[in-house]
A and B are shown apart, each in its own frame.
Chain A
Amino acid sequence: MIKTGMRKVGLRKHVAEADLAVYAAGDLSWWTRPLTHLHVSRCAVCKGRAEAYRADQQRIRELADELPTGLNWDRLAAEMHANIHVGLEAGECVTPRTGKRGIPAGWRVAAAMAGFTALLISAWWLNMPAAQTASLGRAMKAIAHWQISSRGLRFEDSGPLVEATAAGIELRENGSALAVTHGVNSRPVAVSLSVQGSARARYIDSDTGQVTITSVYAQ
């Protein structure tokens, strides 16, 4: 009832016994303490009771200080520990089992890590260019087969790459297309690639025969 102590102070005229005891011990909550203190300072009855509680507490402390001779603290702690265990075990016996036993904490951590790994793989798969994945795969394969040359592993760098296919030409970097040429509703009649990093695609207008050549440049 401590949490409703301030209201009771107003309703009952005097502070409740339990609240007074807690107040005297200094453990009353901070939001009820000011009103209780105000009442006790003005009410002789409550003030007397509070002082009586304080006197009792003082007396108990003095008695507690007079410890029995030859007290073994380690043994006392061990007994307390044992009693708590006995209490818990007894509680397990009398409490009905409502469900399955919980999953061990180690498995929970493993499950959390598996979920996190799955999310990371999804993020990689959704966002990393295929070329980068292939490059990483090649590097892993080389490591697995111990195919590391004297110059170390050769990784694909991030420079631009020019590709010519029957469908057209494309300039790519990190697996993403930077520049592409498509004919308007048509495929090129010829594509060509230069080792200096450019590519051309040749288109012919089917009606007029006009030739249009589009090019992309890596540099």
Chain B
Amino acid sequence: MRSRRPLPHGRGSVANGRGTVAISVAIFFFASALVAGAQGFGGQGFGQQSLDHRIDLPHDSPVSLVGDEWGGSAANVRGGAFVLDVRVSLSLRNSSQRRIHGITLAVLAQETAPGGKGSISVPSLDVAPGESFSVRGDLHLLRPISAGTRPMVEVDLDGVLFDDLTFYGPDKLHSRRTMMVWELEARRDRRYFKTLLEQAGREGLQKELVASLSRDADRPQFNVQTVRGRATNADPEHDVQFAFLRFPEAPVEPMDGVARIAGNEARTPKLVVHNRSDRIVRYLEMGWIVRDQQGREFLAATVPAEMRLPPRSSSQILQDAALRFDPRTSIEGMTGFISSVEFMDGSFWIPSRVELDDPTLRRVVAPSPEEQRLVQIYRKKGLNAVIEELKKF
């Protein structure tokens, strides 16, 4: 005879205990599988693959490929994407009839999503027709596995700037604008050093190069993050007004500015600028200097703005972005200055050396790429090499 009545309580506890152990074991294996799976999915080093690459130069490109070296480039699977370690060295020849003063190459793993696009620029060049030069770069990019079965990176020509300030290229990365500013800064600084050599002699030039070297070493560098259109800080917010460094010769004058500050985060800068020139402004860039609770100042970011600002008129610049600093940093003050202006006719304005001779700017703003190049030549080869370099232009 079989009984269907429940077992007495003591036996039931034993059975429940066994059930609990079984459930615990099942949960353990399930959770272990979860951990292992998650590790495998999110972890690195799943497998390394060689990197396919393509160099795409237009048929009428002013530069031609002499050689390329991809040693050290690889692709690693991480989750659902390839992490591309791009180490490229290209040897290019100037196949045009003009001297090349700058080049920008776009490095694309995927064009539309974040993390798939980078660029390599070489300013301060002076490559004669027929001469070769090298471009080297080291970037880590991301490419979804779904974008193709093989990891692939493509190097495209984005733009070439010539000595007569003409430009060639698709300019997808707005490299004309940035290379023009670098070139104008280079011309300004070479002219400054040449004048110094003429007026103060070798000692005067050497003194200035040593001072630049010293400023470079002392320049404060803080960790800064920028995010678009959001705030994450739970601290109470308040508005902080911008102070401005005004350049007498600047075609655009900053009039007013404010940003929302919450602890270590500054967001949504609003600036009002006035065009005091006779030309239409289509782009400007402002430098944003931040002062912390200890009185230290550093260049936090640039605020670019595309616009159409007619002569003698004002406009507001609003950027839906946030800057975040080290959590121990408390923002106490902000300073803005106009760093470059592009007019509708394609010409540019940049600050002069006299205007940049402000104690704050000298301390926080990095010198031009050309000044850093000349200082490096001085450090490596001496003053005579710098003088010879200046004579080339």
Contact = CB atoms under 8 A, between A and B. Distances in A.
Contacts of B233: 154
A149 to B, nearest CB: 8
Given A123-B35, A162-B225, A197-B228, 5 more contacts: A120-B31, A190-B372, A191-B221, A209-B373, A212-B135
B223 A163 contact: yes
A211 B368 CA distance: 10
Contact of B140 (A147, A179, A184): A179
Interface residues of B, number: 78
A204 B31 contact: no
Interface of B: 8, 10, 13-14, 16-17, 20-21, 23-24, 27-28, 31-32, 34-35, 38-39, 41-42, 78, 87, 114-125, 134-142, 173, 216, 221, 223-234, 269, 288, 299-304, 319, 321, 323, 366, 369-370, 372-374, 376-377, 380
A184 B72 CA distance: 11
B376 A204 contact: yes
Q: Is the interface of B mostly helix, strand, loop or mixed?
A: mixed
A138 B232 contact: yes
A215 B319 contact: no
Nearest to A124: B38
Contacts of B323: 193, 195
A7 to B, nearest CB: 27
Q: Is the interface of A mostly helix, strand, loop or mixed?
A: mixed
Contact of B216 (A180, A189, A207): A189
Given A108-B17, A115-B28, A162 B226 contact: yes
A215 B223 contact: no
Contacts of A122: 35
A145 to B, nearest CB: 8
A214 B86 CA distance: 12
Interface stretch (A39-47, A53-61, A66-74, A164-172): A164-172
B118 A179 contact: yes
A195 B319 contact: yes
A157 B228 CA distance: 10
B31 A119 contact: yes
Interface in A14-53: none
Contact of B119 (A109, A115, A165, A214): A214
A214 B27 contact: no
Contact of B226 (A103, A119, A193, A205): A193
Contacts of B269: 195
Interface string A143-163: 000010000001111011111
Contacts of A189: 216, 366, 372
A84 interface: yes
Tier of interface size on chain A: 35 or more
A115 B138 contact: no
Given A105-B13, A212-B137, A173 B28 contact: no
Contacts of A173: 114-115
Given A138-B234, A197-B228, A181 B140 contact: yes
A197 B226 contact: yes
Contacts of A108: 17, 20-21, 24
A196 B114 contact: no
Nearest to A184: B138
B226 A161 contact: yes
Contact of A112 (B20, B299, B302): B20
A130 interface: no
Nearest to A149: B234
A112 B87 contact: no
A211 B372 contact: yes
A211 B179 CA distance: 12
Contact of A184 (B21, B78, B136, B230): B136
Contacts of A165: 221, 223
Among the interface residues A147, A176, A215, which one has the most CB atoms of the partner chain B within 10 A? Answer: A215
Given A159-B230, A206-B380, A219 B114 contact: yes
B32 A213 contact: no
A156 B28 CA distance: 32
A9 interface: no
A14 to B, nearest CB: 27
A181 B138 contact: yes
A216 B118 contact: yes
A159 B227 contact: yes
Contacts of B380: 206-207, 209
B8 to A, nearest CB: 6
Contacts of A181: 118, 137-140
Given A179-B140, A211-B122, A202 B369 contact: yes
